[in-house]
Structure formats: C-alpha cells, structure tokens
Amino acid sequence: MEVNVVRVFEDKDFLRVKELCNNHADWDLVYEKKQNQVWTKGIADSDFLMIKARSVFPDVPADVAYDVLHDPAYRPKWDKFMISSKDIGIINPNNDICYYALGAYPPIRSRDFVMQRSWLDIGDEKYICGHSVCHDDFPPLKGYIRGTVYLTAYFVQALSDKSCQVTYVTHSDPKGKLPVWLINRVTKVVAPKALKKLHKACLNYPSWKNKHDAQWKPWIHPHQLQNMPRINLSQCQYRNYEQVIVDESNIKSSEIKEKDSDNED
C-alpha cells in the first residue's frame, strides 16, 4: 500500500487493513456515543493523524453496506462532499484507478485525488481500500489542491443476516496549511456525521437501486467490467507535481459555511 505504487492488492494487504481496524492498541478514543466510536493515532513523519471510525448498523445487511460504498451512481445522493468522479480504468477485476474531487466547507479549498482502489469480498468480511497514485491523463486541476491519501479503507463485517459493523480507516495529507481546529472537527464531528449519513444511505439504497439499473454491480459481477479501459502501467509513473502552498490556517470556524441538506431522491 505504498503511495504512488500501482500493484494488485494481496492477501497480506487486506490482513493488514483488518489488523488496523480491529486492533485499538496505541489508538486514542476521541469520540464514543451509542454504537459509534472514533479513534486517532499519530504517525511518524506526518503532521496529520490517522483516523478510525466505527459504527454498528443493526438494520443493514453487510451486502447492502458494501454495495452502497461501491456504487458510484448512488454516491452523490449521500456524500455531499463528492464533486465529481471518474473511473480511469481497471487493473484487474478487483483493482482499478479512479479520479475524484472533493468539496470542503467554504472558504476551505477543494481537493482532488487519483486513487488506486482494491476490494475483496469473502462473505462475512468485505474490504474496499485505496491509496494515491499518479496517472498521466489526470494531473492536478486548476482550482483544486492535489491531496495525498496514504491509506483509506472500509472494513464491513457481517454480524447477522440483517446487521453489520462498518469500520473506516484513513490517513491522508490534504496539502496546503489547514487550521488545527478543522482537524479536530473532522475527528469529533465530521466522522460521526459521515457514519450517520452512511447508515441512512444504506437504508434507502435497496429501493433506490431497484429503480436505477438494478443489475449493474460490477464489484460483484466482474463480467460487467469487460468494456472498461485497461490501465497502462507506463502511464502511472510517479510525478512530482509543483503546487502553490495554500495557507488556510488562519480561517476561523465562524467563517465556515456548512450545508447539511440531504438528497435521497
């Protein structure tokens, strides 16, 4: 899971993700309410904490949560930060490369990323992982700051036929200079809110999917990927993009404009 290295994920990579999700040693519990927890962990040579969030969905099957996290057509319905996304191509049926742009709370600048995604479904355990890579056709776009994701992972565990536990781990560098209060807000406010929105999205997904290309699930049916472009690894060599350092550290929380409207149609 090395940044800017494109390779097929192996069993040992998914086992490492499982260990990160289930082992709380050396993690600080910073939020706990009902069946939701958020932990943080300092990482050597990084100014940004690794964040881990977990929630139990007592009324959502693991298969549904896995589908919601995969389905790009449904993502804008529940993830208000997603501005745009594009599937660049596949490496194999369980690994691809994509581009996505994320909005932020104005006046914080938006970020964009090129990611390798890797996934695995072994029944009661399901994984979706990602890390930043480069692609010649997707340099940083004007108006965005190109961030670096060292690791992002969802680990979905079935608790019964009708319930599951979702654990999310992420460590990234959004680049630029961000205010300390914003990092604290991510761990104690944004992460719990995101879990709540994901739960609601899972409850609404089956009825939505029945009306929107119900059979299209390439993360389950690999043959549906047959027309997707294949990744040329020669286009994924490391690029050191020159970016202007944007100092947003002086932005006050009172300047932030939040939009919490839901769109579930």
* Residue 158: how many other CB atoms lie within 10 Å: 18
Cis? peptide before 218, omega within 30° of 0: no
Q: Alpha-carbon distance 83 to 139, whole Å?
A: 17
Amino acid in position 246: V
User: What does residue 185 show for φ and ψ, rounded to 5 degrees?
Assistant: -65, -40
Query: Is pLDDT of 185 > 90?
Result: no
Residue 211's pLDDT is 97
**Beta-bridge partners for 101:** 84, 112
Average pLDDT score over residue span 194-198 = 93
Residue 104's pLDDT is 79
| Helix or strand run (H / E) with residue 199 | helix 191-210
Mean pLDDT of the chain: 91
Instruction: Indicate the pLDDT class of residue 257, thresholds 50, 70 and 90.
Output: low
Domain definitions of the chain by residue range: 11-213
* Residue 75: how many other CB atoms lie within 10 Å: 16
CATH architecture entry for 11-213: 2-Layer Sandwich (3.30)
Q: What is the pLDDT of residues 111-164, one digit of tens each?
A: 999 999 999 999 999 999 999 999 999 999 888 999 999 999 999 999 999 999
Q: What is the pLDDT of residues 157-184, one digit of tens each?
A: 999 999 999 999 999 988 888 877 777 6
Q: What is the pLDDT of residues 205-245, one digit of tens each?
A: 999 999 999 999 999 999 999 999 999 999 999 998 888 77
Q: Alpha-carbon distance 72 to 42, whole Å?
A: 31
